[in-house]
Amino acid sequence: MLYREAGDFKTSYVADSQTFPIKFDRYGYYVLLGFAFLVMPLIINDYWANSIVVPFLIYAIAALGLNILIGYCGQLSLGTGGFMAVGAYASYKMMTAFPELNIIFVIIIAGMVTACVGVLFGLPSLRIKGFYLAVATLAAQFFLIWLFTRTAWFYNYSPTGMISAPTREVFGVPVTGPRASAVSMYMICLCFLVASAWLARNLTRGSMGRKWMAIRDMDIAAEIIGVNPLIAKLTAFAVSSFLVGISGALLFAVYLGAAEAGEAFGIDKSFLVLFMVIIGGLGSIFGAFAGAAFLIVGPVLLKLLLVNSLGWPTDLAAHLEIMIVGALIIVFLIVEPHGIAALWRTIKEKLRLWPFPY
């Protein structure tokens, strides 16, 4: 009787509509949050931070953003890589133009810039739907990357065409640049992720989220009920691009340190984040985390297993890793087309009755 819903009575609508209505979930969440903020900084090392934890945190933000657009509002987008590049280049331009501006504000403003660009490229969604919209956002992807590689102003006329993040500090601790430690990188990404998840959850639980979901499920009925499709779709693009922009800025400034648009933010990034959202579960905040974990942590664990435990050669393991992860994705989508989040829901429903299923 580990997990129980019975006897957990709600006496107000506020209590009934909270994020974790079941006590066990709520305490589990507090424990996890406490672990992430208090214990992880003590035990994290460079290897874990660089190979798993920091990319997971950053891609989870991107997956949250894309999930709002695709999972909640039903607007298919393949421009994620391009929007991440907007966040990255916006943060780079701001870091170099205003060196005294705090990096936290830089990243938030980079997100806002991306939101504006996202709204611009979201305008076609008012006329076209589904795959046609996906193709239109694909145009955004290629156009933005082209723009950032061809226009020297964006990379401050550097001869290599690369952008590299200067050192910036938060409370005197460097979080970007070569002097940044694993703990500081982890902490800034974690703070942004927790804030993003909180924002995304709040926006999707209220009237805004219902407007998005109404547009997703049946746009004509939504309009007749009183949803303005223009505002609903463009706000979804704005919020989604905001989060994607933040993750792009973090990926460049904190994680990579130096980047080149075509290489760091290519179409493969768009697909990576799209797969995270689909595998994790469309229309679920938890799904964004699960999908990011699956696609970031999965390959690393596989590599650890094959190379370190079984002692296979690295190149063989690398190829096998790609094949196994690919096969896992396919198997996963056949077994549970609605993603890890749906799987988790099924488990929870089973646990409600466990151990007496009748």
- Judged by the rule CB under 8 A, the positions of this chain that interact with another protein are 12-14, 16-17, 199, 202-203, 205-208, 210-211, 213-214, 216-218, 220-229, 235, 239, 283
Nearest approach in angstroms of CB 233 to another protein is: 13
Question: Which residue lies nearer to another protein by CB, 55 or 245?
Answer: 245
> How much of the chain is in helix, strand and coil states, percent to nearest 5?
75, 0, 25
Half-sphere CA count of 93, side-chain side, radius 13 A: 16
Nearest approach in angstroms of CB 198 to another protein is: 8
Nearest approach in angstroms of CB 346 to another protein is: 13
Nearest approach in angstroms of CB 160 to another protein is: 39
Nearest approach in angstroms of CB 333 to another protein is: 18
Give how far Cα 288 sits from Cα of 200, 219, 225, 314, Å: 11, 24, 29, 30
Question: Which residue lies nearer to another protein by CB, 13 or 171?
Answer: 13
Question: Which residue lies nearer to another protein by CB, 128 or 231?
Answer: 231
Q: Which two tokens stand for residue 121?
A: 């490229």
Question: Which residue lies nearer to another protein by CB, 52 or 66?
Answer: 66
Partners of 170 in the β-ladder = 173
Nearest approach in angstroms of CB 338 to another protein is: 10
Residue type, position 2, single letter: L
Q: Which residues contact 159 (CB under 8 A, 6 or more apart)?
A: none
What distance lies between CA 220 and its chain's CA centroid? 29
In terms of phi and psi (left: phi > 0; alpha: psi -120 to 50; beta: otherwise), the region of 272 is alpha
CA distance 311 to 235: 50
Question: Which residue lies nearer to another protein by CB, 151 or 228?
Answer: 228
Residue type, position 155, single letter: Y
DSSP string covering 56-125: HHHHHHHHHHHIIIIIIT------HHHHHHHHHHHHHHHHHH-TTS-HHHHHHHHHHHHHHHHHHHHGGG
Nearest approach in angstroms of CB 224 to another protein is: 5
Question: Which residue lies nearer to another protein by CB, 24 or 142?
Answer: 24
Question: Which residue lies nearer to another protein by CB, 139 or 203?
Answer: 203
